[in-house]
Amino acid sequence: MRKKVEKIGLTIENAPLFRSLVGDFAAHENRSLSAVVEHTIMDTLLPQESNMRYFAQIYLYGERCNVGRALEAIFDHNAAGLNWRARHSNYLPFVQFAREQSTFCPVCRIQTDEDARDFATSHLASQLCSVVDYLRELSQKATDEMKAGYYTREADMGEFFYNELKSEPQFFKTINIYNLIIHNWDDLNWWQITYRLLHDLVMLDDGWRADPEARIELLKLMKSVPAEWEQQT
């Protein structure tokens, strides 16, 4: 089945140069002018990394998509590592972006959707409990008294949010968990559980932005974050 093709008119400032330059590539690659233009534009604007490119095409710029759908896919994919380790650990820019953008979401689905509430008080709560337990473990292992005190306070805060989620979910705020993760990023960035929790947080908020400003900001991160992977190899 042939793909649906749509004609789009373009106004070119330097038409002779455009026709000559693009024409050379079209002749060299044995393709049409429009195919060369489309490939060049997409290759320039979309991420080079294959998974990020797919997420951008399907979840960020697909029909009825938004930055939330793309973030879900990004965090879910990164959680699929081996031996409890995430695929990559440099996702802090995505987490900070998610926290910032969550403040624009008009409603948390936990307040309006019974299925979302059940999901949050079971699966999300389980991931959050694991994070709290890990922070407690870090506190117990810390040899420095100040560091041990810090982890204890963070674990206590996480436990408060966990108890709130289980007993009074209507008051639960996703931004509190984003902050907990960001404050302890150096200790949590390697772990599958962290990204499962992030995926669940994104799912809970409803009404994610789909305007050009938000999409382009996320698209830039989808290019810059994978670029660091190449530098590490």
For residues 159 and 7, the model is more confident at 159
C-beta separation of 101 from 214 below 8 A: yes
Q: What is the mean pLDDT of the chain?
A: 95
pLDDT of residue 45: 96
pLDDT over 70 for what percent of the chain? 97
Q: What is the domain partition of the chain in residue ranges?
A: 66-232
Whose structure tokens read 């693009």? Answer: 22
pLDDT at 86 over 90: yes
Q: Which helix (H) or strand (E) holds 206?
A: strand 205-206
d(CA 23, CA 188): 51
pLDDT of residue 230: 76
Q: How confident is the model at residue 233 (pLDDT cuts 50, 70, 90)?
A: low
pLDDT over 90 for what percent of the chain? 94
Start-to-end Cα distance in the chain:
40
Local structure of residue 4 (DSSP, 8 states):
P
Strands (E), 99-189: 107-108
Q: How confident is the model at residue 6 (pLDDT cuts 50, 70, 90)?
A: confident
pLDDT at 2 over 70: no
Q: How confident is the model at residue 51 (pLDDT cuts 50, 70, 90)?
A: very high
pLDDT of residue 94: 98
Strands (E), 30-180: 107-108
C-beta separation of 215 from 71 below 8 A: no
d(CA 132, CA 190): 16
User: Is residue 5 left, alpha or beta, with left meaning phi > 0 and alpha meaning psi from -120 to 50?
Assistant: beta
Q: How confident is the model at residue 95 (pLDDT cuts 50, 70, 90)?
A: very high
Task: Please state the pTM of the whole predicted model.
Answer: 0.95
Local structure of residue 205 (DSSP, 8 states):
E
pLDDT of residue 9: 85
Q: What is the pLDDT of residues 172-186, one digit of tens each?
A: 999 999 999 999 999
Other Cβ atoms within 10 Å of 91 Cβ, number: 22
d(CA 159, CA 221): 31
Q: What are phi and psi of 38, to 5 degrees?
A: -60, -45
Cβ partners under 8 Å of residue 5, min gap 6:
none
pLDDT of residue 8: 86
pLDDT of residue 3: 65
